[in-house]
Amino acid sequence: MIVNVHQFAQWKQQGKAIAMLTAWDYLSAQMVDIAGVDIVLVGDSMAMSVMGHDTTLPLTLDDMVHHAKMVCRAIRKTLVVVDLPFLSYQVSRAAAMAAAGRILKETGAQAVKMEGGYDAMVNIIAAVVEAGIPVMGHVGLTPQSVYKFGSFRQQGKSAAAAIASLTRPWR
């Protein structure tokens, strides 16, 4: 079965566990796909894990497109989600739509992932979704906010905790 975004709502209602792994290249994506993982994330963590940077911040949209193309060429049934890199979407709704649209158009991915707190991101995410681009959020580590929070620290274990921690100053 080829996984798509509509299946996730059904799976959530059914209580099905969803498996997600990260891949940054053709070979790792091929292994993830063959293993039957539901989602593969082309994560901005490649800035540190693959490129040797100290943070994810130097990663560019061009870098993400390059690696996402490799991943998408390997995938036959897994849903592909691509991280939008730092400052490719936070600046404005138009920048977010352009970056997200470029990811889908140039790579073959089915969704994008964005970091950020509710207050800062709700309008941007709404605009991207209204443009027809699926967006995945996440709970937990937010490496693009490393300087805001002072370290790589988990921000929440639930959606409510993550929203609360990202919408108030770190203490």
How does pLDDT run across 29-77, given as a tens digit for each residue?
999 999 999 999 999 989 989 999 988 899 999 999 999 999 999 999 9
Tell me which residue of 145, 124, 167 sits closest to 57, measured CA to CA.
145
DSSP 80: E
Give the model's pLDDT for residue 130: 94
| Sheet of strand 79-83: strand arrangement | 20-22, 39-42, 79-83, 111-113, 135-136
Class of domain 5-138 as given by CATH: alpha beta
Give the model's pLDDT for residue 61: 98
Give the model's pLDDT for residue 150: 52
DSSP 141: B
Tell me which residue of 105, 49, 114, 108 sits closest to 86, measured CA to CA.
114
Is residue 86 a contact partner of residue 59, using CB atoms and an 8 Å limit?
yes
> Which residues, given as ranges, of the chain have pLDDT below 70?
117-118, 138-171
**3-class secondary structure, 91:** coil
The 3-state DSSP composition of the chain as helix, strand, coil percent (nearest 5) reads: 45, 10, 40
pTM of the prediction? 0.81
Give the model's pLDDT for residue 161: 53
